[in-house]
Amino acid sequence: LAKTTQPISMDSYEGQEVNITCSHNNIATNDYITWYQQFPSQGPRFIIQGYKTKVTNEVASLFIPADRKSSTLSLPRVSLSDTAVYYCLLRSSNDYKLSFGAGTTVTVRA
Amino acid sequence: EPEVTQTPSHQVTQMGQEVILRCVPISNHLYFYWYRQILGQKVEFLVSFYNNEISEKSEIFDDQFSVERPDGSNFTLKIRSTKLEDSAMYFCASSGGQGRTQETQYFGPGTRLLVL
């Protein structure tokens, strides 16, 4: 399985930027890194995906360095409704298995 | 917007009983997945299914688990003889065509299974 490391939790305030890093030393060469958001008692929901460098969509940005051993999800100007668990999903280069990171609980306060 | 649906939303069963969890993936998707999430833990991959056969499975997906696409719309996960540790939320997901991680997986709302 991919060895991923994410911070367990992060606290923020409304309007701030939140950056969550997922470290993944053994990512499969040709596969993408995907980030999901999960609210309590719901299925994960796609946020953003990338392979290298920077990707931006209407809700987030994703920064991936050239060595691809980590990725950073950036949530600009968070609101209370962004309180959720955020997971990276990728495939290991060792066994080519899909695995989610342990998840980062982001709590946004007013 | 099309979505993945799952039934039942909750199921309680006795240890040793068989359960079947049902999913209706998004209609034009070709890859189907099952994941589980034990309470308070991360989402864990179980199995992926493509072209009427398992394309990938994890160590968790042992002989007590099976998957099937009995018709053109349903995708099921069967647990033959449930154990207490099978208690979890089970998520179904589907993706468009190639099954690689660059494809967005769309998740259903989950089935909460409680084994007593």
The pLDDT confidence band at residue B9, using thresholds 50, 70 and 90, is very high
Q: pLDDT digits over B44-53, tens only?
A: 999 999 888 9
User: In this structure, are residues B26 and B4 in contact, taking their beta carbons and an 8 Å threshold?
Assistant: yes
Backbone angles phi, psi at A73, to 5 degrees: -90, 130
Q: What is the pLDDT of residue B72?
A: 77
Confidence at residue B106, expressed as pLDDT on a 0 to 100 scale: 92
pLDDT at res. B2: 79
- Are B11 and B112 spatial neighbours (Cβ–Cβ below 8 Å)? yes
Interface test with B, best of A41, A91, A98 (most B CBs within 10 A): A98
Cα dihedral value B46, B49, B53, B57, nearest 10: -20
The count of residues in chain A is 110
How far apart CA B31 and CA B100 sit, in angstroms, is: 9
Sign for the pseudo-dihedral over CA of B44, B47, B49, B55: positive
**Across all residues in chain A, what is the average pLDDT?**
91
- Residue B19 is encoded by which pair of tokens? 């359960």
B1: tokens are: 């917007």
pLDDT grade for A1, boundaries at 50, 70 and 90: low
Which pLDDT score, from 0 to 100, does residue B101 have? 54
Q: How many alpha carbons lie under 13 Å from residue B39 in its C-beta half-sphere?
A: 7
Task: Give B47-84 pLDDT, tens digit per residue.
Answer: 999 888 998 899 999 999 999 998 878 999 999 999 99
| Average pLDDT of the segment spanning A67-90 | 95
For residue A41, the distance in angstroms to the closest alpha carbon of chain B comes to 8
Chain A positions with Cβ closer than 8 Å to B: 30-34, 36, 38, 41-46, 49, 51, 87, 89-91, 97-103
pLDDT tens per residue, range B15-24: 999 999 999 9
pLDDT of residue B102: 60
A97 → closest Cβ in B58, B89, B112: B58
